[in-house]
């Protein structure tokens, strides 16, 4: 079953004169989930998504092999059942949302065999202001689903924004031989402080010769390379003096000329990006830029 099934349902609703949407053009269905799930024998599965006031939920369920599933239930906060059907092979449902709340989608299989199901959940926002409402549910949101007042206070709309942690900056590193003979630096540790609520961050780098002026756009045109490691601040001395310094496994670049590297959030917010020139003869210039993406919550009660 394709997503067009949801669109057909929505079109029929609006054509019939929905009281929720007084507009001539049907609003777009926002896909919340379009996935295949497997429910093991004699078990049940629950999925959780949050919706906000004025939303319309477009729901399609289908057992892909034409078998029945004992129970299919949709409820608010686990204690208000909005829909329950037994022995289902395929069904469609449209639900209106009167408040901001977590919906529980429950599937129960009482047979000994597995059930494979295609699930589609679409969301029609009531206005442009809630178009980008985040439907994902974090584990902490499920701590007290029976306390509606408390739960609704926790259901916060998140906004994502980009923060520039370091504008493009050039770092010149000597050759490893000159670091030994002349005391010049073939390693540089660049401090980075991740903002609170960082969900992902990136660093972009490009490597040229020590006196390179051929930088264009985001890249040097030469073929020089560097090594990059992410380290803790307390390991700075070890990084500078010990070839076997401790480092994180994430984000390692070895003998690399350029790249855009995606990093996951860390428990520690103060980190160092360690730049190393592996060339024994030539110095290099490393151009480095760092950005972070944070998600911030704001109550919409």
Q: Model confidence over 81-130: pLDDT tens digits?
A: 899 999 999 999 999 999 999 999 999 999 989 999 999 999 999 988 88
Question: What's the pLDDT at 222?
Answer: 63
Q: What is the pLDDT of residue 203?
A: 92
Cβ contact 159:296 at 8 Å: yes
Confidence class for position 25, pLDDT limits 50, 70, 90 = very low
Report the pLDDT value the prediction gives residue 28, as an integer from 0 to 100. Answer: 82
pTM of the model: 0.47
pLDDT at 21 over 50: no
Distance CA 2, CA 208 (A): 49
> In this predicted structure, what is the pLDDT of residue 155?
43
Integer Rg of the chain from CA? 27
Q: What pLDDT, on the 0 to 100 scale, is given for residue 20?
A: 36
pLDDT bin (cut points 50, 70, 90) of residue 10 is low
3 state DSSP class of 223: coil
What is residue 129's predicted lDDT score, i.e. its pLDDT?
86
Q: Average model confidence (pLDDT) for the chain?
A: 80
CB-CB contact of 119 with 60 (8 Å): yes
Band (pLDDT 50/70/90 cuts) for residue 220 is low
Reduced 3-state DSSP string for 103-166? EEEEEEECCCCCEEEEEEEEEECCCHHHCCCCCCCCHHHHCCCCCHHHHHHHCCEEEEEEEEEE
CA quadruple 266, 268, 270, 273: dihedral, nearest 10: -40
**pLDDT at 131 exceeding the cut of 70:** yes
């Amino acid at each position: 079953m394709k997503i067009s099934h949801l669109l057909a349902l929505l079109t029929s609703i609006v054509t019939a004169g929905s009281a929720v949407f007084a507009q001539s053009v049907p609003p777009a269905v926002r896909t919340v989930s379009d996935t295949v799930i497997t429910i093991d024998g004699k078990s049940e599965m629950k999925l959780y998504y949050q919706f906000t006031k004025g939303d319309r939920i477009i729901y399609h369920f289908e057992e892909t092999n034409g078998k029945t599933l004992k129970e299919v239930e949709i409820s608010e906060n686990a204690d208000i059942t909005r829909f329950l059907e037994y022995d289902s092979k395929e069904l469609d449902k449209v639900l209106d949302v009167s408040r901001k709340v977590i919906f529980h989608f429950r599937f129960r299989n009482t047979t000994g065999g597995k059930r494979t199901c295609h699930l589609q959940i679409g969301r029609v926002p009531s206005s442009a202001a809630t178009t980008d409402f985040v439907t994902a549910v974090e584990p902490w949101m499920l701590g007290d689903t029976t306390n509606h007042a408390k739960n609704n206070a926790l259901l916060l709309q998140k906004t994502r924004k980009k923060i520039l942690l370091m504008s493009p900056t050039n770092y010149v590193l000597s050759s490893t031989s000159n670091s030994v003979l002349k005391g010049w630096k073939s390693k540089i540790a660049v401090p980075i402080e991740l903002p609170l609520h960082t969900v992902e961050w990136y660093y972009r780098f490009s490597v040229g010769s020590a006196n390179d002026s051929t930088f264009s756009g985001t890249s040097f045109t030469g073929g020089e390379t560097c090594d990059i490691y992410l380290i803790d601040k307390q390991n700075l001395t070890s990084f500078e003096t010990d070839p076997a310094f401790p480092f994180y496994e994430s984000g390692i670049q070895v003998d690399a000329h350029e790249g855009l590297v995606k990093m996951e959030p860390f428990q520690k917010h103060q980190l160092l990006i360690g730049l190393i020139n592996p060339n024994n003869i030539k110095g290099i210039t490393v151009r480095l830029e760092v950005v972070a993406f944070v998600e911030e919550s704001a109550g919409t009660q």
